[in-house]
């Protein structure tokens, strides 16, 4: 495995952990993880890169080694402001190359529309979320939020790292034992009783009472000027769900004025960076290097 370094920077009052690979003189590449994930998940993709990159992958607030906020709810605009601060710290003078997965794509998609000149090229890996909630769901959603912040949430405990790895492989049969063993060492932390829990603030499990609006997302995507590459897993349930509504799928794709293409990775589910990192790297690098 390619060696990484941990760097902590101050971002809006939080100690933010950023995992970096490569050396300062190489072209910078920011890699953004998704929900209930951590920056270490990009290790396998970085290992597969053939070119020299200075990769910078943050743990989002409340994940991995980054500080928890101490609040009962994580608000989505905070991630967008965090990304702006991270780019200003590491790449203040040039538009950034960004690869993002799942929740990370939602963050960068809004940001790239708000500050379009800040992005050079954008790779969206498994970027479709589920259908936007209907307005009629608001009472139930607010009630659930109120109930959760009163009761609190907890991360599921595992007997040990081996148990955690077995659970990961049960949920994703494409995940190898070697990769699962690596991931749980970074996804999990050991408690005093020997059990292992996910390195994520349980408050992330609290539903946000004000979900992202689809019409606002479209408006932001339409303002993105950077070339955009979509990458999907051929076995992804998320993509399969999106394809059940072809008109909405086409509407989303049409929103990007510089769509460079859509790549489908075979034998990969939602976590392509776990399932087929070599294939993922092979489609990312040519796109980023093309003039």
Q: Does the pLDDT of residue 70 top 80, yes or no?
A: yes
pLDDT band, residue 254 (cuts 50/70/90): very high
- In three-state form (DSSP H/G/I as H, E/B as E, the rest C), the secondary structure along the chain is CCCEEEEEEEECCEEEEEEEECCCCCCEEEEECCCCCCHHHHHHHHHHCCCCCEEEEECCCCECCCCCCCCCCCCHHHHHHHHHHHHHHHCCCCCEEEEEECHHHHHHHHHHHHCHHHEEEEEEECCCCCCCCCHHHHHHHHHHHHHHHHHCCCCCCECCHHHHHHHHHHHCCCCCHHHHHHHHHHHEEECCCCCEEECECHHHHCCCCCCCCHHHHHHHHCCCCCCEEEEEECCCHHHHHHHCCHHHHHHHHHCCCCEEEEEEECCCCCCHHHHCHHHHHHHHHHHHHCC
pLDDT band, residue 242 (cuts 50/70/90): confident
Average pLDDT over residues 12-23: 97
pLDDT tens digits, residue range 157-212? Answer: 999 999 999 999 999 999 999 999 999 999 999 999 999 999 999 999 999 998 88
Domains and CATH numbers, the chain: 4-132+212-289 (3.40.50.1820)
């Amino acid at each position: 495995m390619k060696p990484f370094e941990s760097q902590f920077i101050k971002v809006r009052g939080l100690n933010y952990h950023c995992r970096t690979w490569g050396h300062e003189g190489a072209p910078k590449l920011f890699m953004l993880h998704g929900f209930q994930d951590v920056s270490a998940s990009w290790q396998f993709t970085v290992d597969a890169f053939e070119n020299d990159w200075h990769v910078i992958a943050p743990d989002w607030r409340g994940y991995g080694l980054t500080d928890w906020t101490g609040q009962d709810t994580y608000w989505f605009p905070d991630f967008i402001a965090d990304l702006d601060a991270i780019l200003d710290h590491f790449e203040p003078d040039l538009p950034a190359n960004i690869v993002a997965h799942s929740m990370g794509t939602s963050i960068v998609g809004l940001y790239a529309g708000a500050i379009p000149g800040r992005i050079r090229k954008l790779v969206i890996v498994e970027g479709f979320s589920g259908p936007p909630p209907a307005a009629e769901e608001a009472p139930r959603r607010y009630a659930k939020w109120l109930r959760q912040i009163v009761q609190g949430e907890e991360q599921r405990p595992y007997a040990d790292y081996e148990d955690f790895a077995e659970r990961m492989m049960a949920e994703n049969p494409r995940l190898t034992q070697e990769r699962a063993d690596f991931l749980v060492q970074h996804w999990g932390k050991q408690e005093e009783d020997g059990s292992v829990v996910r390195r994520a603030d349980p408050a992330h499990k609290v539903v946000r009472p004000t979900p992202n609006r689809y019409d606002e997302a479209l408006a932001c995507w339409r303002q993105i000027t950077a070339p955009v590459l979509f990458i999907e897993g051929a076995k992804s349930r998320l993509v399969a769900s999106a394809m059940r509504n072809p008109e909405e799928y086409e509407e989303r794709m049409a929103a990007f004025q510089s769509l460079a293409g859509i790549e489908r990775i075979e034998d990969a589910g939602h976590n392509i960076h776990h399932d087929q990192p070599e294939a993922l790297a092979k489609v990312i690098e040519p796109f980023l290097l093309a003039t």
